[in-house]
Amino acid sequence: MRPLMRSHLSFGPVSLVFVASISIAACSSASSDGAANGRGNDAGSTHDGGDNVVSGDCSVTSTGSSGLLIRGEILLPNGPAKGEVLVDGSGKIACADVDCSQTNGYGDATILACPGGVVSAGLVNAHDHTDYNTAPPIDHGDTRWDHRQGWRTGADGEQKLEQPRTSSDPKVLAAAELRFLMSGVTSLNGSGGVDGLVRNVANYKNQEQLEGLSGPTVFFDTFPLGDSNGTELTSGCGYPSIRSASTAFEDGNYTPHIAEGINPAAENEFACLVGSLVTNRTGIIHSVGVNATDVGKIATAGAKIIWSPRSNISLYGNTAPLTVLKNAGVVVGMGTDWLASGSMNMLRELECADSLNQKYFGGAYDDKGLYEMATKNSAIAIGFDSQVGSLAPGLVADIAIYAPGTNKDYRAVIDAGVEDVLLVLRGGRPMYGEQKIIDALASGCESLTVCGAQKSVCIDTPNVKLADVEAAAASSYPLFFCKDQTPDKEPSCVPYRDSYPNGTSATDGDGDGVDDSSDDCPTIFNPPRSMDGTSQSDVDGDGAGDACDSAPLDNSTK
């Protein structure tokens, strides 16, 4: 990997350079007790090294000899607080708290004050077929499928979709990664990637794309049953070749595609894999075709779910049973799937998840729960939560700072657009953000106008420049859309039943096609699936549907 930045200050693998207009004298008088140079703990006030307050969402207010101190509204693991994050010279989080002044290195750090910013862990995209992101989303109108083999191969007489081509072109893959980076993503579990930009943890033993993380990579498995030929079975396990456990977990964690559909064949996939491949090191991608009994087995095994709501809704008109998973205590992470039927970046995926949660899942998840799907839980699902996904001491300094607008706390992230991303650090290294911030922290980056705002991008992919990435995006899909725009051809996030005239109505409040008077979960979308027969799923037969039953495997409790 070629070096990106030059300067007199070391930041682990990163070099930083600060604008000359910032007072160097402030550095020499700094004290580790936080008394000098405006190093008090009021994150709502930004000082320039003296008594002057600097306006704006974020400003570098004094330079130091090592590390970076960020002040603002911090999304700490136990909740939001006005506080500080101290990044040490190696690019790790030394402290994240309301007051870091007693931490070694505090007095030596450069100060980035963000009184109008919300400081988050970098987002983690736990699932994307990055090498397929070569064309706009596929417009398939009102067509929905019962199983992925239907749209993939035309199985069961369903309409086959012409899928986008794959690409190994570094410029095309860099464009896909930059789309994610611009939304605050720092780590990706993807089927393709390049050195630099967003790290890819599913790199099949090529440690270079981990971008400073350690440990084994993730086995991203699209066909754990060897069924790329279109095989569907409704019973038995006579699939072409079921992945062995020794191979699945050889690289560390395992993220297989399982139960992608709503018919009996989708659920049968789970039945054939639960004994050997569903473990506490498994992050199951999709799991649309599972019921409460299956969820109980997932919970018992300690497996996690990687949810791609937009793609699920677009292709199947339904998605994983989120309320059942929540009641069972299953960790749910999140990923974009691919451009063909999913979201272009994680902020659009969060938008979809939020709308489903509010309108169709009865608000089962609070804002923190949604936010953690895109950060901590995704990191857990891919087995990297000891390194990324949270603002906690000892973790890698993957940080995204968002402008709050009219929002605050988690909602500033959930409702953000790309123009609201003020800064993204990968391992303490500036990668993208407001031009004035990047110019104060780094050199060698390139300017990019985003929704009228001047941003800078620090592309560290060998032999790739911003112009190359923009050219690749021009022939595939734009790098960004502003938050007041719906991305071109964006797939639907409205469940199938509710997208028709007889959807949400005065008599069918959740739009699942079942009248409220006979709906066993009238406020939660739970239509009968072909895997359930003709009725809504109620595996314990107590009259309360699984989707709203706090104990769906116990018929004595509803």
What digits encode the pLDDT tens for the residues 282-334?
999 999 999 999 999 999 999 999 999 999 999 999 999 999 999 999 999 99
User: What is the dihedral sign for C-alpha 511, 516, 521, 527?
Assistant: negative
Cβ(540)–Cβ(324) below 8 Å: no
Identity (one letter) of the amino acid at 220? F
- Structure tokens belonging to residue 475: 């022939």
Instruction: Provide the pLDDT for residue 56.
Output: 52
Q: Which CATH class is domain 123-381?
A: alpha beta
Per-residue pLDDT band at 43 (split at 50, 70, 90): very low
Please list the residue range(s) of the chain that carry CATH number 3.20.20.140: 123-381
Alpha-helical regions (H) of 39-101: none
Q: Is the pLDDT of residue 273 over 70?
A: yes
Q: How far is CA 153 from CA 227, 280, 283, 287, 441, in A?
A: 11, 32, 26, 20, 50
Q: Which residues of 150-189 are buried (b: 16+ CB within 10 A; e: fewer)?
A: bbbbebeebeebeebeebebbbbbbbbbbbbbbbbbbbbb
Tell me the pLDDT tens digit for each residue of 327-362.
Answer: 999 999 999 999 999 999 999 999 999 999 999 999
Q: What is the rounded distance in angstroms from the CA atom of residue 153 to the CA atom of residue 150? A: 6
Single out the residue of 184, 39, 185 nearest to residue 113, CA to CA.
39
Per-residue pLDDT band at 51 (split at 50, 70, 90): very low
Q: What is the rounded distance in angstroms from the CA atom of residue 405 to the CA atom of residue 168? A: 38
Tell me the pLDDT tens digit for each residue of 299-308.
Answer: 999 999 999 9
Instruction: Provide the pLDDT for residue 407.
Output: 85
Please list the residue range(s) of the chain that carry CATH number 2.30.40.10: 9-121+397-462
Instruction: Provide the pLDDT for residue 55.
Output: 33
The mean pLDDT of 414-441, rounded to a whole number, is: 96
Q: Is the pLDDT of residue 28 over 50?
A: no
Cβ(27)–Cβ(62) below 8 Å: yes
Chain-centroid distance, C-alpha 116? 23
Sequence-ordered list of residues with C-beta below 8 angstroms from that of 141, at least 6 positions apart, any chain: none
Strands (E), 391-515: 399-402, 421-426, 429-434, 446-450, 453-457
Single out the residue of 370, 460, 532 nearest to residue 177, CA to CA.
460
Q: How far is CA 211 from CA 208, 216, 370, 383, 427, in A?
A: 6, 13, 27, 16, 8
* Average pLDDT value over all residues in the chain: 89
Cβ(122)–Cβ(398) below 8 Å: yes
Tell me the pLDDT tens digit for each residue of 102-112.
Answer: 999 999 999 99
Tell me the pLDDT tens digit for each residue of 179-210.
Answer: 999 999 999 999 999 999 999 999 766 777 99
- 9-121+397-462 CATH: 2.30.40.10
CB atoms under 10 Å from CB of 445, counted, come to 23
Single out the residue of 79, 82, 109 nearest to residue 94, CA to CA.
109
The mean pLDDT of 415-428, rounded to a whole number, is: 97
* Torsion angle (degrees, nearest 10) of CA 448, 449, 454, 455: -40
